[in-house]
Amino acid sequence: MKHADNHEAFFRGLDRHRMIASIKEPKHIETALALRDRLSGVFLLTGHIGVLKGYVDLFNEHRLPVFLHLEKIGGLSTDYHGLDYLAKVIKPAGIITTKTNVAKNAKKLGLITIQRFFLVDTEGLENIAKSLCQIEPDMIELMPARIPEMIGMVKSFTSLPIITGGLLFERSQAQECLDNGANAVSSSNPELWPCADGKPGTNRIRKVV
């Protein structure tokens, strides 16, 4: 898939399916592919440079946008040359990173950029605002998801789409995040993957079938 196709496919899918599969183990790749019609994309948090292209090619073949969490992939450089190789050879839809300079370079290379932030105290909230003044990624991810009231606070100073994830064990917890304004939920629990469809503020979590 070309970068433009990846962008279009992801944001079109995000409008319909508000669940993103976070894959921490290779054994869950097949599960995500089987549920591709219910997911807007996948976050890949496993693998190394030797197997990475094979994984990404597989997701691209099934037209399921894949995002690489750069701090979780072994052997991959996150300097400009490493990101250039990633964009031109590996060809994911985009990347996830906690680092502002990495997000800035990835965006220049045409990759969808998702910057991950951890909310542990009020300083974390301030850091998000400061970071977004330096570079505006395409989306932000707030961790953990179990503080859904913070989503509204972040939305008060940015119009960027918000994904949230981490410490989700039940569908009701994911639903609470969506009801509080998250555009999507990411989860590494396959039981939660076939769930969230619909427009923000109107969808309900579906039962696993």
User: What string of pLDDT tens digits covers the 209 residues of the chain?
Assistant: 455 566 777 887 787 889 999 999 999 999 999 999 999 999 999 999 999 999 999 999 999 999 999 999 999 889 999 999 999 999 999 999 999 999 999 999 999 999 999 988 888 888 898 888 888 899 999 999 988 889 999 999 999 999 999 999 988 999 999 999 999 999 999 999 987 554 443 444 333 32
Identify any residues that bridge with 156 across adjacent strands, giving them in sequence order.
none
What confidence score (pLDDT) does residue 134 get? 85
Angstrom distance (rounded) from CA 82 to CA 85: 5
User: Given this model, what pLDDT does residue 126 score?
Assistant: 85
CA atoms within 13 A on the CB side of 120: 2
**Are the C-beta atoms of 176 and 167 separated by less than 8 Å?**
no
Q: Rounded CA gap, 46 and 29, in Å?
A: 10
| Predicted pLDDT of residue 200 | 42
Helices (H) and strands (E) in the chain, counts: 8, 8
Position 88, amino acid: K
